[in-house]
Amino acid sequence: MDGFTHRHVEANGIRMHVVEAGSGFPVLLCHGFPELWYSWRHQLRALADAGFRAIAPDQRGYGETDSPSAIDQYSIHHLVGDLTGLLDALAIDRAVIVGHDWGGLLVWQMALLAAHRVAGVVGVNTPFFPRLPMRPVAMMRAMAQGNFHYILYFQEPGVAEAELDRDVRRTLRGFYQGPNRDALAQLLENPASVLGPNSGGLLDRLPDNPPGDFLSAADFDVFAGAFERTGFRGGLNWYRNFDRNWETTAYLSGAQVMQPALMITAELDPVLRPEMADGMREWVPNLRRTLLVRGSGHWTQQEKPAEVSAALLEFLVEFR
């Protein structure tokens, strides 16, 4: 895309693909599952036009960035190390970090684990979650009560890959749906009836309709082409470190994120519901604002790019 600079850098022992636009105070944009740097294309341009240096990497396991084979190479310490290594490679001391979905979980943890590199932090859909009182996978099993749970389904190496890699375009069509108020209402009323018994795969539960209108055919081809090359294993390995991350970050129990922060929620996200951000100020005392983006499903920065970009620019005023 015009105005974007692509490069590959060595960071934290892997080769990372990163896309940049503009100059000024750096803003690091972190995508989720199953996405790419391209998820931030609208914000890259908006931030650059407003006088910021916008930086969006393909994260470990995605796109043109390396995808190590070992599951334990996707721990939270590796993922945070990738971002600090990327800042080192770009000669950046501190940045505002922005994350959506899994990228949101990552940036909140980076604000704790590498606080001196984080000037401010923005969660998109993903709020700050304090440390759980028990192992995350055990808690998810208890919550599922024997029903299908996609994170539990992702735990067994090779199982989800076999299903999701078989037809990448069908898989991505299932994920990249626009907001559906009726399906959300059904899910909230009776989660078990929507998720169903613990049999079959994930695609049995995802529609095979055209992707949401936030993606053009050309946009969809960018994502599909990347995952047809890489498969989904790299991204799935992030999910397989929930318990490992919990074990290795016990010392963060009770820790607060002290940097200035912004939380952007999406009205119709069926997984990361807006109410999950309620009470977050107890853990993020310098939370400047919690914004609800109405009419948006899960892919907020793509579904409502103008609203997300405007909120970012309002927050970033203090970093000029």
Taking the chain (320 residues) in runs of 10, the rounded mean pLDDT of each run is: 91 98 98 98 98 98 98 98 98 98 98 98 98 95 90 96 98 93 57 62 92 97 98 98 98 97 96 96 98 97 98 96
Cβ-based burial of 90 (10 A; exposed 0-12, middle 13-18, buried ≥19): middle
Among 58, 66, 82, 101, the active-site one is 101
pLDDT at 193: 45
Is 78 considered catalytic here? no
What residue type is assigned to position 93 of the chain? D
- The pLDDT tens digits of the residues spanning 232-274 come to 999 999 999 999 999 999 999 999 999 999 999 999 998 999 9
DSSP state of 314: H
The pLDDT of residue 182: 66
Q: What pLDDT score was predicted for residue 2?
A: 75
What the block records as the tokens of 89 is 């490679």
Q: Is 298 a catalytic residue?
A: yes
Question: Which pLDDT does position 226 carry in this prediction?
Answer: 98
pLDDT of residue 185: 56
Nearest to 310 by CA among 49, 107, 25: 49
Q: Which CATH code fits 5-146+234-319?
A: 3.40.50.1820
**Residue 34, preceding bond cis, omega within 30 degrees?**
yes
- Dist. CA 74–CA 285, nearest whole Å: 29
> What is the torsional sign of CA 144, 238, 250, 114?
negative
pLDDT at 289: 97
> Is the separation of the CB atoms in 96 and 120 below 8 Å?
yes
